[in-house]
Amino acid sequence: MGVYLLRRLFQSVLVMLAMSVIVFVGVFAIGDPVEILISPDADQMERERAIKALGLDLPLWMQYLSFLGNALRGDLGRSFVFNEPALKLILERMPATLELAFGAMFIALLIGLPLGLYAGLKPNSTGAKAVMAGSILGFSLPTFWVGLMLIMVFAVQLGWLPSTGRGTTVEILGMRWSFLSWDGLRHIAMPALNLALFKISLVIRLTRAGVRETMLMDYVKFARAKGLSPARVTYVHVFKNILIPVVTVVGLELGSTIAFSVVTESVFAWPGMGKLIIDSINVLDRPVIVAYLMIIVLMFITINLLVDLAYSALDPRVRLENK
């Protein structure tokens, strides 16, 4: 396990380095760095001073090293718009995004697992067919459009839920959370459901496919032949085995949920990282874009690492392969 952990850590660092090169090349080499990093309002004198200060007259590899050095010290530049360190801006908005993402994952498992199990156990029943048709719909519905329709129905027409914003937040550990107040819960309900929609379908399909394939396995037939009760076969022999892929995928999906919250946050004006990055792209606030990309890449690599480790702990075959 120790060797495996070290090797995966080493790989993660390599990937992180590779991504930093891509981001660097994307911002510093493809675009015009002067235009990207210096506010367009700056006059000629300021421009030249900034070019010197940013080291843009140095060769590219030296620029990359200083970019890397600054990034390691947590300095990813200052936002043109807010005139604050980009990193700070993003970290401030992270709790809102995480809250939304975890809320969505929770809803996805809560709804997806039982429905998927049902659809897998009784694949020919009308109910199961309805669930599967519904899941295709869940995959197909464009998130942003569903969000708009949710707002139209529940906020504009019925007036039950607020359309935008985070509502009252409660401060814990220096961060503000919505889900602890009733008003906050009312605000998070629609965005979380909207973000969960895709994941609900995914969990349903994974569970169903897993159940259907596992049911054909010899050990399930054997368990049945032994005369075990259907409930025991279902929950111990089948469910436990399909839980591994489902847990892995759900874990992996946490990252993509955070990424897709970009869309949901834009629709519901949820003040998280996603909304910040879209606003920043639209006003060309590049330091924030760079900082966002670096942070999200780091986040992804960490999540992937954790999922791999959890996977190897859950599935003995992976462990053996890596011995």
- List of residues contacting another protein (CB under 8 A): 15, 18, 23, 26-27, 30-31, 133, 136-137, 139-145, 148-149, 151-152, 156, 163, 212-213, 252, 255-256, 259-260, 262-263, 266, 277-278, 281-282, 289, 293, 296-297, 300, 304
For residues 180 and 247, which CB has a smaller minimum distance to another protein in the complex?
247
- CB 263, min distance to another protein, A: 6
Q: b vs e for 185-195, b when ≥16 Cβ sit within 10 Å of the residue's Cβ?
A: bebbbbbbbbb
Cβ atoms of residues 27 and 64 within 8 Å: no
Cβ atoms of residues 229 and 186 within 8 Å: no
For residues 99 and 308, which CB has a smaller minimum distance to another protein in the complex?
308
- CB 45, min distance to another protein, A: 28
For residues 100 and 262, which CB has a smaller minimum distance to another protein in the complex?
262
- CB 28, min distance to another protein, A: 10
- CB 69, min distance to another protein, A: 22
**Minimal CA–CA distance to 169: which of 182, 157, 160, 156?**
182
Give the containing element (helix H, strand E) for 176: strand 175-177
The gap from C-alpha 69 to its chain's centroid, in whole angstroms, comes to 27
Cβ atoms of residues 123 and 243 within 8 Å: no
For residues 135 and 169, which CB has a smaller minimum distance to another protein in the complex?
135
- CB 154, min distance to another protein, A: 13
- CB 4, min distance to another protein, A: 16
For residues 65 and 133, which CB has a smaller minimum distance to another protein in the complex?
133
For residues 18 and 53, which CB has a smaller minimum distance to another protein in the complex?
18
Cβ atoms of residues 255 and 304 within 8 Å: yes
The gap from C-alpha 272 to its chain's centroid, in whole angstroms, comes to 12
182-215 and 126-140 helices cross at what angle (nearest 10)?
A: 120
Residue 306 and residue 311: Cα distance in Å, rounded? 8
Residue 196 and residue 205: Cα distance in Å, rounded? 14
